[in-house]
Amino acid sequence: MNDVAPSDIRFERRGAAGVITLDRPQALNAVTHDMVRALAATLARWRDDAAVSRVVITAAGGRAFSAGGDIRALYELGIAGRQDEALGFWRDEYPLNALIKTYPKPYIAIIDGIVMGGGVGISLHGSHRVAGDGFRFAMPEVGIGFFPDVGATFMLPRLPGEIGTYLALTGERLNGDEAVAIGLATHRVPSARLPELLDALSHGRPVETTLQGFAAPAGTAAILARRGMIDRAFAPSGVEDIIAALDREATPGGPDADWAARIAATIRTKSPLSLKIALAQMRRGPRLTFAGCMRTEFRIVSRIVHGHDFYEGVRAVIIDKDNAPRWRPAALAAVGEAEVERHFAPLGSGELDLP
């Protein structure tokens, strides 16, 4: 389908369910442009097929549900001067995220492994999000000079308190118990029972009833123990102020001193421009519809692909793996408000086309 090799993504009917399996484990199930197009076409067909009463998306390989989009391919297009071609990926990916968000049938993501970036966009906007034992969520984009996209502008600010801002600026990971506790996941199911769950979902019984029959009580959510400090430290309107608040929390002898010092140090390694864009997203997101968030993200990426930090970040983390990016600008103070605002400006005839 759409020139997608069977080893990349599989579509099948199992009883009442349309089942999607990401099957690119050698690349941690990173989502390619062909996979995006094939997934969108199949979802549109199943939406209008009365024999399909629910959609289930899962992944092969064990280690990752999906570690994101095919960043290396997008990097190579950009450094070759083919930015418009690279933008075609996001022009197709973002409407797919919106299709999943508004899908009229239950859309159940079974996630047992790493879920980041583009993998988030095809799973966590669904109506039901099942976390297995290996569930590990992160949005680490500011560490490669990018920004939290695929609907993060909508999703992260709607998490409790300032947890979304914390996740956007740090790229820190959450496990399945934490995801359920803050509403990112809807059910926690032990990994050993996931094949049985997939089979049960194909039988046509009510989705919620089936999921409740498999769900286990969530365990301790460590992030909740940090909730008070996260809300205090990540409430300020500027990245510099957030770091200063963390530095104050890191005063020796404080109950969260070591943790706050580590988080402050982590943020200081990220792209200054990306950090300021991400914080602006978190502050604007609550006022926007999902479609408005996707249009906003397309505005941002349309500028990012013509910039410096995305290519430098991918070089440092994925290509050369020296983990020594040379950000431009190198300091938060050098990133002015006008430069941030430029990334959010309308695109005129180039706007993302969404209903």
Catalytic residue among 61, 69, 151, 307, which?
69
Mark whether 118 is an active-site residue. Answer: yes
- How much of the chain exceeds pLDDT 90, in percent? 94
- How much of the chain exceeds pLDDT 70, in percent? 98
Bin 61: left if φ > 0, else alpha if -120 < ψ < 50, else beta.
left
pLDDT above 90 for 255:
no
pLDDT above 60 for 1:
no
The residue among 288, 305, 310 whose CA lies nearest residue 354 is: 288
Whole-number pLDDT of residue 123: 98
Burial class (CB within 10 angstroms; exposed 0-12, middle 13-18, buried 19+) of 50: exposed
Average pLDDT estimate for 199-227: 95
Catalytic residue among 23, 70, 112, 141, which?
141
- Grade residue 4 by pLDDT with cuts at 50, 70 and 90: low
Domain extent, residue 295, equals 1-355
Catalytic residue among 93, 149, 249, 256, which?
149
Q: Which amino acid belongs to residue 138? A: A
Predicted TM-score (pTM) of the model is 0.96
Catalytic residue among 78, 118, 126, 285, which?
118
pLDDT above 90 for 340:
yes
Tokens of 320: 């050369």
Total domain count for the chain? 1
Tell me phi and psi for residue 58, to 5 degrees.
Answer: -140, -175
Mark whether 69 is an active-site residue. Answer: yes
Whole-number pLDDT of residue 185: 98
Tell me phi and psi for residue 13, to 5 degrees.
Answer: -100, 130
Mark whether 143 is an active-site residue. Answer: no
- Judge contact between 229 and 222, C-beta under 8 A: no
What is the enclosing helix (H) or strand (E) of 58? strand 54-59
pLDDT in tens, 273-332: 999 999 999 999 999 999 999 999 999 999 999 999 999 999 999 999 999 999 999 999
pLDDT in tens, 12-22: 999 999 999 99
What is the enclosing helix (H) or strand (E) of 138? strand 136-138
Mark whether 34 is an active-site residue. Answer: no
Q: Which domain CATH number covers 227?
A: 3.90.226.10
pLDDT above 80 for 7:
no
- Grade residue 3 by pLDDT with cuts at 50, 70 and 90: very low
pLDDT above 50 for 2:
no
pLDDT in tens, 51-89: 999 999 999 988 999 999 899 999 999 999 999 999 999
Average pLDDT estimate for 243-250: 96
pLDDT in tens, 128-187: 999 999 999 999 999 999 999 999 999 999 999 999 999 999 999 999 999 999 999 999
